[in-house]
Chain A
Amino acid sequence: MTGADFVMLSLVPLVIGTLAAIACALPGNFLLLRRQALIGDAISHVVLPGIVVAFLLSGRVAAVPMMLGAGAAALVSVVLIEAIRRLGRIEPGAAMGVVFTAMFAGGVLLLEQSAASGVHLDVQHALYGNLESLIWLDGYGWGALVDGAALRGLPPELMRMAVVTLVVVLLTALFWRALVIATFDEGFARTLGLPVRALSLGLVAVAAAAAVAAFDAVGSIIVIAMFICPPAAARLMTDRMGGQVAWSTGFAVLSAVAGYVLAGYGPIWLGQSSAVSAAGMIATVSGVILGLAALFGPRRRGLGAKQGG
């Protein structure tokens, strides 16, 4: 593959995949340590109908309506869970399970309506994203990176993902100290006067924003995998919070890059003619990394088998 081919076909998907992986893995660390890792999973299920409705109403895939739709869907879910729990006298876990799957299924049905209306967004798109199709037609070579005209032809998904990732990184850095304390010891955090509730709501909101932004480009499979796999693997590598976040970011980047390359070239190396889904491969690589960390990570002790004392 020549430089020009690479810039036109692979550079943008690689960068978007990497940004999406980082944006999800960062809040994923805190969710994992708060034993709320499945919130990422929940978010990506629940927001689907909201995104589809926003898409049908606005007629385009744009950041603001998508976020609004996702937020509305999340609110509806919270109300539904509470209503089912109270009216049906069911335990919260069961109520959540019902609402998450119902919301996702509703989203899938809505998607089919959108396919009928002739706009492009389908079930496959929701699961796998459309990473491979994010090509940069004006990217004629490395020179295009400094060519204003060519840069204007970059897929809009790139800018959207870059902005969201930047916001996630900045918020994580800004609230780092408070987030770490509130995550480790919520009661103590309250006695310091920290707004514990606002912090956890903010964390979930940031995770949701990352999920929604990543959703369109890379699909929900990557979103779910990146919320959990890199942070969980990082947990097996270090005993410090800074190290935890650094390792998870490294694993997220590695998953995105290695997954994309393997999806594009792996089958060819194996003598097959066509590439496989990049989203699926990225999620798989992140799972393999977690498996390796579980087998060989230096800090495996303690998790599962609690130390005496």
Chain B
Amino acid sequence: MTQEAMTMLPEPVRDRLVDESPLAIRGLTVSYGEKPAVFSVDVSFRAGKMTAIVGPNGAGKSTLLKAALGILRPLSGQVTAFGHPLDEMRARIAYVPQRASVDWEFPARVIDVVMMGLYRELGLLGRIRPRHRARAMDSLARVGMEGFATRQIGQLSGGQQQRVFLARALAQGADLYLLDEPFAGVDAATERAIIAVLKGLRDEGRTVVAVHHDLATVPAYFDRAFLLNVTAIAEGPVAEVMTEANLRAAYGGRLGPAQQAV
């Protein structure tokens, strides 16, 4: 339903129709050139669940996330978070970008990066107090990186860098966590550590949405799946979404035998 149509409804009806989902996307279209990368996608992510965004390479998974968050400018579409315009809800949303999207030679230590997660609380000039530092250290401990606080970030392995990014998001104390390929190029131990943290967040009632590459691990890691290939194909519990027909629709002939086994 469009915004204009909504305003014409009587208030009690409207309130029932407002999507209270932590992240609701309506009619989102994003284009880099002439061909849309994401076309007219409608999806609402379920609160308190872990949802994987799955689809083939170039399906627009990262693009969808970035456009929903306002990192990219969509051609059209509306995004609400917790039933409100996204900009009003930024304090409740934490984003973990792809590890390769930043320069890890940047002059910063691990703790400096995690403290960035406290920006909304500290503001431009707020004093960093012991409780802020304690929260940053606590976030690092949750990803098993408390011993690395004063390391330069360029000295870390890929998996450790990914954990630092997750710790920064944890320091934000958000209710919705959006992660872009959190398991890309990380070691097995890091993958286990990250999934444990994410499940912990889910068990606290928070919402986790992650762009995910590996179809084989979707059932073990996630409650729900959102299948995307430029257009939305299906969203729901993993078992209902990852059917052969849906996967064929998303992946076409590109599905390998290992993935078909899922």
A-to-B contact residues, CB < 8 Å: 33, 35, 174-178, 180-181, 183-188, 190-194, 235, 238-241, 243-244, 299, 302-303, 306-307, 309
- A309 & B71 in contact (Cβ 8 Å cutoff): no
Partner of B108, one of A186, A191, A241: A241
- B66 & A240 in contact (Cβ 8 Å cutoff): no
Q: Most A CB atoms within 10 A — which of B120, B125, B154, B158?
A: B154
Partner of B70, one of A174, A181, A190, A243: A190
Q: Most A CB atoms within 10 A — which of B107, B112, B160, B168?
A: B107
- B107 & A191 in contact (Cβ 8 Å cutoff): no
CB-based nearest B residue for A245: B107
Report B44-92 residues with CB < 8 Å from chain A CB. Answer: 66, 69-71, 87, 90
Query: Can you identify 19 A-B contacts, CB atoms within 8 angstroms?
Result: A33-B103, A33-B107, A35-B103, A176-B124, A177-B124, A177-B125, A178-B119, A180-B108, A181-B116, A184-B116, A187-B97, A187-B101, A188-B168, A190-B71, A193-B120, A241-B106, A302-B105, A306-B105, A309-B158
Q: Which residues of A contact B108 (CB under 8 A)?
A: 180, 184, 239-241
Chain B interface: which size bin? 35 or more
Q: How far is the CB of A239 from chain B (nearest CB, A)?
A: 4
Q: Which residues of B contact A239 (CB under 8 A)?
A: 107-109, 152, 154
CB-based nearest A residue for B70: A190
> At the interface, yes or no: B95 with Cβ under 8 Å from chain A?
yes
Q: How far is the CB of B127 from chain A (nearest CB, A)?
A: 11
Q: Which residues of A contact B158 (CB under 8 A)?
A: 309
- A241 & B112 in contact (Cβ 8 Å cutoff): yes
The total of Cβ contacts below 8 Å across the A-B interface reads 87
Partner of B107, one of A178, A192, A193, A244: A244
Q: A240-B108, A241-B112 are in contact. Are A302 and B154 (CB under 8 A)?
A: yes
B-to-A contact residues, CB < 8 Å: 66, 69-71, 87, 90, 93-95, 97, 101-103, 105-109, 112-113, 116, 119-120, 122-125, 152, 154-158, 160-161, 168
Partner of A187, one of B95, B107, B152: B95
- A185 & B102 in contact (Cβ 8 Å cutoff): yes
Q: How far is the CB of B251 from chain A (nearest CB, A)?
A: 27
Q: Which residues of A contact B119 (CB under 8 A)?
A: 177-178, 181, 192, 194
Q: How far is the CB of A294 from chain B (nearest CB, A)?
A: 15
Q: How far is the CB of B84 from chain A (nearest CB, A)?
A: 14
What CA separation (Å) do A72 and B112 show in the bound complex?
A: 39
- A235 & B107 in contact (Cβ 8 Å cutoff): yes
Besides A241-B108, A243-B107, 20 other CB < 8 A contacts?
A174-B125, A178-B124, A181-B119, A183-B106, A184-B106, A187-B101, A188-B95, A188-B97, A188-B168, A190-B71, A191-B71, A191-B93, A191-B95, A192-B120, A239-B108, A239-B152, A239-B154, A303-B105, A306-B105, A307-B155
Closest 7 CB pairs of A and B: A239-B152, A309-B157, A191-B95, A193-B90, A244-B107, A187-B71, A187-B97
Q: Which residues of A contact B160 (CB under 8 A)?
A: 309
What CA separation (Å) do A111 and B35 show in the bound complex?
A: 49
- A175 & B124 in contact (Cβ 8 Å cutoff): yes
Partner of B69, one of A180, A191, A299: A191
